Amino acid sequence: MPPTASQAAPAVVIDALSKSYGKVRALDGVSLALSPGQFTALLGPNGAGKSTLFQILTGLFVADSGSVQVLGHDLARQPTRALAAMGIVFQQPSLDLDLTVEQNLAYHAGLHGLAGRRARDAIAEALALFGQEGARSQRARTLSGGNRRKIEMARALMTEPAVVLLDEPTQGLDPASRRDIVEHVARLTRERGLCVLWATHIVSEVEGADRVVVLHKGRVLDDGPPADIVARHGGAALEDAFLALTGREPAGRAA
Ligand SMILES: Nc1ncnc2c1ncn2[C@@H]1O[C@H](COP(=O)(O)OP(=O)(O)OP(=O)(O)O)[C@@H](O)[C@H]1O
């Protein structure tokens, strides 16, 4: 029997990570271990530190202190190996809208040393994961916002990463597209044993996550399955617990 997410060795270990911008402490001693096969939501309001954590995990920023290990590779000492294990979907859309979907993915494949038939196969497989085979020859500009996001996710998965980081990946999408994308990624997490970290401030999209890490003012305030967080902090739903944790009472409870 394969190990469950909680039994498997962590794919990512974040230890006591801190980062300040001048006097603003964006991350204050954040520690997390992320498991394969687990969809972890990093839930925090604006300014919580989510993007700062992602920028450190993706090697764009260096932490003031603390460490990150990805599949046992230290991000500071072995960045190439650590980064090679990760697929990333950035908060800002990043497709070249004047290129076709295939050209966008082929460019990314080339950056990862995939060419010729291997690249074509990887592109076809990645597009199929998100039901986007038919978009292959279309210019990215002609796709809906939701489908552009799916192409970015296909691109992130094309190199078969063990770890997938998504920073507010549903920004600007309508509720139906958001739900569709969350369900897609949750299914792939289970089927492929991915280690997924999904940052968002939208509570409703992560109610079905395996685990929710609540980040506020650079600190982890709670961490666990959504039902456990709700039970610990009261209220009827994750949103109530989130508002209580981050110091903003649910509207119904305001005096
Ligand atoms: N480049 C920067 N220079 C100065 N302060 C910054 C910089 N980037 C972020 N901050 C500050 O660091 C804190 C954490 O910001 P960060 O963008 O990481 O949060 P976030 O949770 O991603 O927010 P959002 O949901 O709004 O994107 C905030 O107080 C923010 O104003």
Give yes or no for residue 47 CB within 6 A of ligand 1: yes
Query: What's the average model confidence in pLDDT over 132-142?
Result: 95
pTM score, whole prediction: 0.91
pLDDT digits (tens, 9 = 90+) for 54-102: 999 999 999 999 999 999 999 999 999 999 999 999 988 899 999 999 9
Query: What value does the mean pLDDT of the chain take?
Result: 91
* CB-based contacts of 183, cutoff 8 Å, min separation 6: none
How much is the average pLDDT of 228-236? 89
Q: Is the pLDDT of residue 176 over 70?
A: yes
- Residue 173 has what pLDDT? 82
How far away, in angstroms, is 218 Cα from ligand 1 center?
10
**pLDDT value at position 247?**
85
Give tens-digit pLDDT for 101-126. 999 999 999 988 888 999 999 999 99
Tell me, what's the pLDDT at 6? 52
In the structure, what pLDDT confidence band is assigned to residue 255 with cuts at 50, 70 and 90?
very low
What b/e sequence results for 127-165 when a residue is b if at least 16 CB atoms lie within 10 Å of its CB, and e otherwise?
A: bebbebeebeeebbeebeebbbbbbbbbbbbbbebbbbb
Tokens representing 192 are 């492929």
pLDDT of res. 154: 93
Ligand 1 centroid, distance to 45 Cα (angstroms): 11
DSSP output for 85-120:
TEEEE-SS----TTSBHHHHHHHHHHHTT--HHHHH
C-alpha of residue 116 to centroid of ligand 1, in Å: 41
Stretch 129-158: mean pLDDT, rounded?
Answer: 93
φ, ψ of residue 115 to 5 degrees: the values are -145, 170
Task: Report which ligand 1 atom has the smallest distance to the Cα of 44.
Answer: 21
Domains of the chain: 1-85+162-255 (3.40.50.300), 96-160 (no CATH)
pLDDT at 251 (0 to 100): 43
> If you measure from the C-alpha of residue 49 to the centroid of ligand 1, how many angstroms do you get, rounded to a whole number?
6
Does ligand 1 lie within 6 Å of residue 24's CB atom?
yes
**pLDDT score at 101:** 97
Q: Distance between CA atoms of 132 and 101, rounded to whole angstroms?
A: 9
pLDDT of residue 132: 92
Q: Is the CB of 92 under 6 A from ligand 1?
A: no
- Residue 66: enclosing H or E segment and its boundaries? strand 65-70
List, for residues 187-211, the tens digit of each pLDDT value: 999 999 999 999 999 999 999 999 9
Q: Which two three-digit tokens encode residue 150? A: 């799916």
Query: Which helix H or strand E contains 196, and what residues bound it?
Result: strand 195-200
Atom of ligand 1 nearest to the CA of 167: 22
State residue 250's pLDDT score: 57
Torsion over CA: 34, 149, 87, 57 (sign): negative
Q: How confident is the model at residue 3 (pLDDT cuts 50, 70, 90)?
A: low
Question: What is the share, in percent, of the chain residues with pLDDT greater than 90?
Answer: 78
- Bridge partner list, 211: 40
pLDDT at 248: 74
53 CA closest ligand 1 atom index: 18
- Pick from 155, 145, 139: which is nearest to 105 by CA? 155
Whole-angstrom Cα distance, residue 252 to residue 248? 11
